Structure 1
Amino acid sequence: MSQVEEVLITSCKTSLQVWSSQGSGSMNTIHTYKNTGEVVTNSLNLINNRLVLTAHQGKPLLHVWPINSPDEIKNPRFILPGPANVCQVTPDGYYLVAGINRTLYVWQISSGILLTAQEIHLCAITCIAFSLNSSHILIGAANGCVLVYNFVHLISVDDTHYAQKELGKVKPTHNILHHTNAVTDIYVELTNINRRFVTSSLDNSFFIYNLHGGEPLLHVICNEPITSMKVDVTFWNIYLGHSGGDIVQFSLRNSASGLVHFTAPSDHLRFSGHGDRINCINLNRTNEILVSGSDDRCVIVWNVESKQILNKLELKTSITNVKFLLNTNLFDPLYQPKFIVKELQRNLEASTYKSYECCVYQDTSFTCQRNDGKYPNSDEVESLRKRLHFVSHVNHRLVKKLKSGTV
């Protein structure tokens, strides 16, 4: 499909599959996940390229598979407080975030601890996005509102002690109210300097904002409702999927700030091939290949420069997710992906932390006491000893600070 060897993961209402071109013109299935339910649109997540995670449409369930196994993980079961509208995993793979009706839930994946539950919108949550370093989380809603949070503030320890009746205590960094219909997608620029983000909506428009200040930089009005969106890594082009089935390309390189009315583009900026609403769009790592999924039950692989169809996959039901993945040895039957996942807690009151005060004498010997005044058991001590020993090899400066008591 490109010089960088990548595979394509697709989901529809009845199947979840991995495809590869294998250097030929046709697409071949190289892996299939046994799926027992409809996958929520834009809920396909990869956890550190070890696990595949999706949300079940209409049921309070998550499905998780080892990346090279067709069989779902049955124990533990991942039960949510309610059916998820959208779910996302942070780029570092540490946290799971789900929008359930109007409430945002955040779990630590390795422990299953529920870190926060914030009733943040007046309408249902429709999309979630993260900055590359997970410093910010952006949440869109069905009423057109977009909230921007500092992710550390959202999951801080103090907030985990709120009772369920005290939801919504954390205040957003920005509260953006420019859209007049449901927000369908959010993209955050992959840079740490003067970051921008893009929001698209069913109100026929998209906005570009400055992440630091939250002020709008560009407002573009299109002819049709925007149902899906993708921005290339250079932030030069935006690809807009519409309700009628077309995908159009908008160039940002020569766009001035302010309001722009984007009329029907010429053929060289239009991807024509779908016959129904576009649900998902993705680009490969080199931005040479675009893939799209639609309610017409087709996945189309496009050449970005020529806008020509390279491959067309006809599945049985509406397409809900498309995602590229770098193809290494992940699907080798001998590969054993190791990642700790625990049952998800459903109540904040059940979320408890064990904090420790440690006194370091050497890199591998120390004493510690829990915050409840009790001494930890031997397993906890051994676990802490191994963690500190690992840190001493990786970061000697941190160990010196621990010894001196400066941290």
Structure 2
Amino acid sequence: MSDLIEAVFTSDANGSQWTCCAWDPRTGTNVMMYKGGGAAAENSLVLVRHEYLITANNTKPMLHIWPLNSQDQVSGTRFITPGKVLSLDVSPDGNYLVAGIQEVVHIWHLCSGKMITALSKHYQAVTKIKFTDDGSHFLSAGQDGNIVVWNLTKAISTNQKEAQPLYTLSGHGLSVTDFHVGAGGVRALLYTVSLDRTCRVYDLSTGNLLLDIVFPEAMQRIVVNKSETVAYLGSVSGRIYEVNLCSPPRSREYHIGIEESKNSFTGHNGSVTCLALSVDGELLISGGVDENVNIWHTPSRQLIRTLPHKGKISNVAFTCVTRRLKEPLEAKHKPSFVVTGNLKRMVDVEDDNYVVETIVNEAIEVTSARPKRPAVVTSTGTATTDSSNEIEKLRAQINELQKVNKELFNFCAKQSLLRE
């Protein structure tokens, strides 16, 4: 344990000095700078097995990856994506990368770069993607107010034409801005926040709503301590609310009053964009549109230190890393696995022999990632041409319906906000 240190990884919307930077929160000193990736998109900073750092470019359809103890990116590998990534996460074992591009969720096998599948269950852009702690499931939230829970094994298996989610949570009326998945795999608790001013607590295994907390303003971010006794929620005004989960209300719906609003962290000038907690829960890290990362002492709610940046804070991650973060890249300190393949930009339907392995609860389940293409024998090309034209017409209709749905959703959201 003496070889571990706590580090805070931050990124901002400017990206002129670095793409991401690691800090020592106890002293406020700079530990490592990761350069060459431009500005990182929100919800796109991920540590892969504490050996790699991955971010998505804020303006280009591209991912950037660094060894954790090197400021130079992995060379000889291209991480081009089908579109600009809005959010991403990597499975705990480092095998699968899941990214949200507009309203579609894409899954890659990280080491080989093969795109396994693309999932379309959201009607609006994806806002956040997160795996459960055991890697068996992942969740995707969107601007449509929905949270979709996916079983990883079923998502990457194509025994059916399109993978179906475990279930969809559609309780929020406006965009889901953030969520937190507790410990326990699919049996964990799920905490969600939205612009509709609510925080909802669900039983992830069943999807049942356990608690609905209503705030006086729209919520942007949420983080819960390891013991899941206290939740911290960042708002659009810059206030950070502290909610005690040890004494829940008797009713399912609970409204935060004025007196409870006073027990909060105040120090940001503008919306809170990021929240993270230290392992022991004593330090709360917050970032905002005011270009500052604030470090708070949670028992006293005192501001300890401010780390100034040059743009809106886009990502904050608090994690334990080894002290080799400060050491040069030597052979004995190289990562235990190597990313060798470029990311493919589409699903390769011709690759029938590609097999993936999913480890769930220490049991290996092997599934074919590509179905066998059925043989089609035709005397002329007429039937094939007619089928292709019909598919193109159906795709055009789907695109038109998605456009109309998006316009209708935006109109309803504006009307709802005007009434408030």
TM-score bucket (shorter structure) = 0.7 to 0.9
Q: 1:19 aligns with which of 20, 23, 46?
A: 23
- Tell me the amino acid that sits aligned with residue 88 of structure 1: D
- Tell me the amino acid that sits aligned with residue 7 of structure 2: V
- Tell me the amino acid that sits aligned with residue 19 of structure 1: W
**TM norm structure 2:** 0.78
- Structure 1 counterpart of 2:303: 309
Structure 1 residue 147: Cα displacement: 1.2
- Structure 2 counterpart of 1:183: 176
- Structure 2 counterpart of 1:197: 190
- Tell me the amino acid that sits aligned with residue 308 of structure 1: Q
CA distance in 2, matches of 1:336, 1:135: 28
Q: 1:109 to 1:192 in 2, by over 3 A?
A: closer
Q: 1:235 aligns with which of 203, 212, 228?
A: 228
- Structure 2 counterpart of 1:6: 6
- Bigger drift between 250-259 and 299-308 goes to 250-259
CA distance in 1, matches of 2:122, 2:205: 21
Instruction: Give the 3-state SS of the residue equivalent to 1:349 in structure 2.
Output: coil
Seq. identity, %? 31
- Structure 2 counterpart of 1:391: none
Pairwise mapping of residues 256-295 of structure 1 onto structure 2 (< 5 A)? Answer: 256=249, 257-266=251-260, 269-295=263-289
Instruction: Give the 3-state SS of the residue equivalent to 1:152 in structure 2.
Output: helix
- Structure 1 counterpart of 2:343: 344
Residue by residue over 1:358-380, the C-alpha shift from the partner in whole angstroms, topping out at 9 and shown as x without a partner, is xxxxxxxxxxxxx9xxxxxxxxx
Instruction: Give the 3-state SS of the residue equivalent to 1:40 in structure 2.
Output: coil
Instruction: Give the 3-state SS of the residue equivalent to 1:330 in structure 2.
Output: helix
Q: Does 1:249 align with 2:242?
A: yes
- Tell me the amino acid that sits aligned with residue 280 of structure 2: T
Pairwise mapping of residues 372-387 of structure 1 onto structure 2 (< 5 A)? Answer: none
CA contact (8 A) 1:138 1:186 kept: no
CA distance in 2, matches of 1:193, 1:355: 28
- Tell me the amino acid that sits aligned with residue 264 of structure 2: R
Q: Does 1:100 align with 2:94?
A: no
- Tell me the amino acid that sits aligned with residue 85 of structure 2: A
Q: 2:207 aligns with which of 195, 211, 214?
A: 214
- Structure 2 counterpart of 1:113: 114
CA distance in 2, matches of 1:52, 1:193: 26
Residue by residue over 1:174-228, the C-alpha shift from the partner in whole angstroms, topping out at 9 and shown as x without a partner, is 1211101100112111025842111110111011111121111101110111111
Structure 1 residue 59: Cα displacement: 1.3
CA distance in 2, matches of 1:109, 1:351: 19
- Tell me the amino acid that sits aligned with residue 323 of structure 1: A
- Structure 2 counterpart of 1:49: 50
- Structure 1 counterpart of 2:164: 171
CA distance in 2, matches of 1:85, 1:57: 8
CA contact (8 A) 1:60 1:80 kept: yes
Residue by residue over 1:13-67, the C-alpha shift from the partner in whole angstroms, topping out at 9 and shown as x without a partner, is 213111115x6xx411121111342111121001111110000113110011111
Q: 1:4 to 1:265 in 2, by over 3 A?
A: farther
Structure 1 residue 148: Cα displacement: 1.2
CA contact (8 A) 1:7 1:324 kept: yes
CA contact (8 A) 1:198 1:208 kept: yes
Runs of 4+ in 1 over 4 A off after TM superposition: 265-268
Q: 1:193 to 1:253 in 2, by over 3 A?
A: farther
CA distance in 2, matches of 1:267, 1:4: 37
Structure 1 residue 152: Cα displacement: 1.1
Q: Does 1:318 align with 2:312?
A: yes
Q: 1:283 to 1:113 in 2, by over 3 A?
A: same
Instruction: Give the 3-state SS of the residue equivalent to 1:153 in structure 2.
Output: helix
CA contact (8 A) 2:4 2:323 kept: no
Q: 2:218 aligns with which of 197, 212, 225?
A: 225
Q: 1:229 to 1:265 in 2, by over 3 A?
A: farther
CA distance in 2, matches of 1:305, 1:139: 32
- Structure 2 counterpart of 1:374: none
Structure 1 residue 352: Cα displacement: 2.7
CA distance in 2, matches of 1:351, 1:128: 28
Instruction: Give the 3-state SS of the residue equivalent to 1:244 in structure 2.
Output: coil
- Tell me the amino acid that sits aligned with residue 194 of structure 2: S
Structure 1 residue 173: Cα displacement: 1.5
Aligned pair count?
344
CA distance in 1, matches of 2:278, 2:350: 39
Instruction: Give the 3-state SS of the residue equivalent to 1:230 in structure 2.
Output: strand
Instruction: Give the 3-state SS of the residue equivalent to 1:5 in structure 2.
Output: strand
Structure 1 residue 355: Cα displacement: 6.4
